[in-house]
Amino acid sequence: MKTRHWLSTLIITLAVVGPAPAQTEADPWENGDDWGDEPWAEEPEGWQWYGFIEGAYAGRTQNDPTLEEDATLSELRAQLEGERQFGRFEAVLKADVWADGIEDGGRGDLREATLSGTVTDQIDVKAGRQTLTWGTGDLVFLNDLFPKDYVSFFNGRDDEYLKAPSDALRLSWYGPVNVEVVWMPVAQPNRYIEGERLSYFSPQAGQRTSTRVDPVDRDELVDDSEFALRVYQTVNGTEYAGYAYSGYEKQPSGQDPNSQTPYFPRLNAFGASVRRPIGQGIGNLETAWYDAEEDQLRFLAGFTHEPVGNLTLGWQYYLEWTQDHDALVAATPDAQRPYAPDEYRHLITNRITWQLMQQDLTLSLFSFVSPSDEDYYLRPRARYRFSDRLFGTVGGNLFGGEDEWTFHTQLEDNSNLYTRLRYSF
């Protein structure tokens, strides 16, 4: 596991003991060139620091017989972020520390430690711990196979914590088509539900449980590395993109038949997307083919529009089509066969965002409804801006459905209502 953070350690070392700011004769900002002497054009010297302090609590709406805690979130968190220019390069550090009332103790998370900049007129590079994302879906991910933090997403933390950081090297080339290549030297799984804070349904146990999941790690440097590729361009207002990925599934969905130990199966993926204005809104299509132990075709169609001022609506239809479904069911142990996924999983989502009181108050509701699984997941939220520095948020994560083993219904006992108060500095 020591290899997991080697890139981040390298970047922190370079940032702290590296060269002084590029106040050289070659620095155009210092030479009073075309940018002139306007104060806004001056490059800040040294590290620039900012962050926030946040208190958060989320209580369950019902008892969870598998867990003692009545809360899914109880913490006092501080985030500190700093950035510094080194000529044509920039170093960024961002870290969270918090006192955790659920896991009883102090915790920390290095969320970014990068050095990025322009190598040539056409090539940019970014190395270190960073948050990566692409694709066209809204909280639905097909070709974005970078790690997610679903524990934070479901327990009441801010949406920004859904994207988990990766140790990676990203190269960008800008030409007739733009190309981005990402190399993650060690596989980066999701921060998945493992039973410590949130319960889940176990097909092996045939019931909801909080038993800790302990999979085989993919932590061998280089041997367990992952690659992601995006080729994209905008033509006459339409964005086109193609994607490729070679790595591992982000959830420990495989299970060794002899040891019963879960593991992360191999996954290769290929896909494409298009996004463009349609009428008074923006439409998007995205598809992906998953070459895995269970091959799948995934498809997404979305449309976002603003029917009246300060009111935005977003709609999505998502499909998972499992290939060779009969073979999958036949290979499933008899006791687990009732919990096998359907050949087709349909999902419809809707986002409503309404801004009031000169945009100091934002009301939103994100709904996931699956007609095939007969389950749902609702994310209501109200956020109020008391000042430029102080924000308050209340909301919920509400799960339900017919069968306790489906994607959202299995989390029903984790339904919660939360409140957060954040002061930025």
Interatomic CA distance for residues 373 and 31, integer angstroms: 64
* Residue showing tokens 């490729």: 244
Cα separation, 74 vs 418, in Å, equals: 9
Burial 320-337 (b: 16+ CB within 10 A, else e): bebeeeeebeeeeeeeee
Give the span between the Cα atoms of 139 and 84, in whole angstroms: 32
Q: What pLDDT score was predicted for residue 305?
A: 97
Is the CB of residue 58 less than 8 Å from the CB of residue 417?
Answer: yes
pLDDT of residue 221: 87
The backbone torsions φ and ψ at residue 88, rounded to the nearest 5 degrees and listed phi first, read: -85, 5
3-state secondary structure of 414: helix
- What pLDDT is stored for residue 195 in this prediction? 86
Q: And the tokens for 276?
A: 């463009």
Over residues 285-294, the mean pLDDT reads 95
| The pLDDT of residue 1 is above 60 | no
Paired sense of beta strands 262-263 and 254-255, if any? antiparallel
Q: What is the C-alpha separation between 158 and 155, in angstroms, rounded?
A: 9
pLDDT higher than 70, residue 4: no
Q: Give me the amino acid identity at 91.
A: A
Q: What angle do CA 266, 272, 274 make, to 5 degrees?
A: 150
Task: Report d(CA 337, CA 296) in Å as an integer.
Answer: 19
Of the chain, the end-to-end C-alpha distance in Å amounts to: 34
Q: What is the mean pLDDT of the chain?
A: 90
Rounded to an integer, the average pLDDT of 137-155 is 97
Q: How confident is the model over 384-399, as a mean pLDDT?
A: 97
pLDDT tens-digit profile of 43-66? Answer: 678 999 999 999 999 999 999 999
pLDDT score for 248: 96
pLDDT higher than threshold 90 for residue 271: yes
Q: Kindly state the helix (H) or strand (E) to which residue 391 belongs, with its residue range.
A: strand 390-401
> Over the stretch 332-350, which tens digit does the pLDDT of each residue have?
888 888 899 899 999 999 9
Position 258 scores a pLDDT of 82
The DSSP code for 40 is G
* Residue range 7-48, pLDDT digits in tens: 444 444 444 334 333 333 334 333 434 444 455 556 678 999
CB atoms within 10 A of CB 118: 14
Contact present, 127 and 137 (Cβ < 8 Å): no
pLDDT in the model for residue 213: 87
Structure tokens at 130: 């960073």
Tokens of 404: 């306790």
Question: Which residue's structure tokens are 């979305």?
Answer: 302
Mean pLDDT confidence for 120-124: 94
361-368 mean pLDDT? 98
Question: Which residues, 6 or more positions from 256, have their beta carbon under 8 angstroms from its beta carbon?
Answer: 216, 262, 263
Pairwise CA distance, residues 213 & 195, whole Å: 7
The pLDDT score that the predictor gives to residue 35 is 42
What is the structure's pLDDT at 260?
A: 82
| Phi, psi of 186, rounded to the nearest 5 degrees | -130, 140
Q: What is the pLDDT of residue 298?
A: 98
pLDDT at residue 279 above 50? yes
The rounded percent of the chain whose pLDDT value lies above 90 is 78
Are 167 and 188 a contacting pair, CB within 8 Å?
yes
Q: Are 305 and 279 in contact (CB under 8 A)?
A: yes
What is 318-382 written as a DSSP string? EEEEETTHHHHHHHS-GGGGGGSPPSEEEEEEEEEEEEETTTTEEEEEEEEEETTTTEEEEEEEE
Query: Which of 89, 103, 7, 79 is CA-nearest to residue 43?
Result: 89
pLDDT tens-place string over residues 201-257: 998 889 999 988 889 988 888 889 999 999 999 999 999 999 999 999 999 988 888
Confidence at residue 42, expressed as pLDDT on a 0 to 100 scale: 66
Which CATH fold topology does 48-424 show? Porin (2.40.160)
Name residue 269's beta-bridge partners. 245, 290
- What's the pLDDT score for residue 41? 56
Report pLDDT for 326.
92
Cβ atoms 116, 92 nearer than 8 A: yes
3-class secondary structure, 192: coil
User: Residue 16 has what pLDDT?
Assistant: 39
> What pLDDT was estimated at residue 93?
98
Give CA–CA dist 56/418, Å, rounded: 7
With the C-alpha atoms ordered 186, 191, 194, 196, is the resulting torsion angle positive or negative? positive
The alpha carbon of 387 is separated from its chain's Cα centroid by a whole number of angstroms, namely 28
